[in-house]
């Protein structure tokens, strides 16, 4: 599909408008990991800031180059000297996505883990490839996923959310569809997302879409923002003061087995 306008907004993100300017397309371009690190967060934030105010916009599609959507956030940026800044920027981006005046659709192939799944959960609809895997593995490093702790219960219910958050396990696309995490499973999630946009969003009034989005999310958004502020404080001021949280992150970076003290 030929974009009407193609530009690079800070590596590692491609940004363009298509469908006569009614669709904003964002593509993560640092395969194979497509890490949701400080540079990626800034690029996404900048693109959304620039384009979401466009009154002719009917929707946004987020996808990724390579075999995987995202392996998650940068472990180094989770260390005590960086985690407060990292979480603030990531959560600011997710709030911006939740406050988007138009629906954001995401196409996921391969691994969608950690911060990658948190990013996907900030969108309206998730279109999964047949090979997609979804998980929040943070607990295996003795930390937790703040944004996912707020977003997953809203999307898939408390029990299903706790399954992923407490076990750290990954689920396949079929199971993700069964529990309502994803909208669709196909061999080409990018095409599925574009097809959904063309069928359901492109014919509509861009102005009226904004009112519908605002009405649908009003109370949910307030609840998520309040919880997000609380769990961010819990993570930075309490979790990161424990031995095991630092040990889990350090052991991962050093490629060794963590030694837990349960404190």
Q: What own/partner pairs with CB < 8 Å and gap ≥ 24 does 39-42 have?
A: 39/10, 39/11, 39/12, 40/12, 40/13, 41/89, 41/90, 41/93, 42/10, 42/89
Give the up-direction half-sphere exposure of residue 136: CA atoms within 13 A in the CB hemisphere. 26
| pLDDT reported for residue 6 | 43
Condensed to tens digits (0 to 9), the pLDDT of residues 148-181 reads: 999 999 999 999 999 999 999 999 999 999 999 9
| pLDDT reported for residue 51 | 98
Three-state SS annotation for the chain: CCCCEEEECCCCEEEEEECCCCEEEEEECCCCCCCECHHHHHHHHHHHHHHCCCCCCCEEEEEECCCCCECCECCHHHCCCCHHHHHHHHHHHHHHHHCCCCCEEEEECCEEECHHHHHHHCCCEEEEECCCEEECHHHHHCCCCHHHHHHHHHHHCHHHHHHHHHHCCEEEHHHHHHCCCCCEEECCHHHHHHHHHHHHHCCCCHHHHHHHHHHHHHHHHHHHHHHHHHHHHHHHHCHHHCHHHHHHHHHHHCCCCCCCCCC
With a pLDDT cut of 70, the percent of the chain lying above it is 96
Condensed to tens digits (0 to 9), the pLDDT of residues 37-67 reads: 999 999 999 999 999 999 999 999 999 999 9
Domain 5-201 -> CATH class = alpha beta
Q: Check whether 233 has a pLDDT greater than 60.
A: yes
Condensed to tens digits (0 to 9), the pLDDT of residues 72-99 reads: 999 999 899 999 999 999 999 999 999 9
Q: Check whether 1 has a pLDDT greater than 70.
A: no
Domain boundaries, the chain: 5-201
| pLDDT reported for residue 79 | 93
């Amino acid at each position: 599909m030929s974009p009407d306008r193609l530009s690079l907004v800070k590596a590692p993100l491609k940004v363009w408008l298509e469908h006569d300017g009614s669709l904003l397309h964002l593509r993560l371009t640092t395969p194979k990991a497509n890490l949701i690190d400080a540079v990626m967060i800034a690029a996404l934030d900048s693109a959304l800031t620039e384009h979401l105010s466009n009154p002719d916009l009917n929707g946004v599609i987020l996808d990724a180059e390579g075999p995987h959507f995202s392996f998650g956030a940068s472990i180094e940026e989770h260390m005590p000297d960086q985690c407060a800044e990292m979480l603030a920027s990531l959560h600011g981006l997710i709030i911006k996505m939740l406050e988007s005046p138009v629906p954001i659709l995401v196409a996921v192939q391969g691994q969608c883990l950690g911060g990658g799944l948190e990013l996907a959960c900030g969108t309206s609809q998730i279109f999964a490839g047949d090979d997609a895997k979804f998980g929040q593995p943070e607990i295996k490093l003795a930390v937790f996923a703040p944004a996912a702790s707020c977003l997953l219960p809203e999307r898939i219910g408390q029990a299903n959310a706790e399954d992923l958050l407490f076990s750290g396990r990954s689920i396949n696309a079929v199971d993700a569809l069964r529990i309502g995490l994803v909208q669709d499973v196909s061999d080409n999630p990018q095409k599925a997302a574009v097809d959904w946009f063309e069928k359901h969003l492109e014919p509509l009034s861009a102005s009226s879409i904004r009112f519908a989005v605002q009405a649908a999310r009003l109370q949910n958004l307030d609840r998520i923002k309040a919880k997000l502020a609380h769990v961010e404080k819990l993570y930075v001021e309490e979790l990161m003061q424990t031995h095991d949280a630092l040990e889990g992150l350090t052991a991962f970076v050093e490629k060794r087995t963590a030694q837990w003290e349960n404190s």
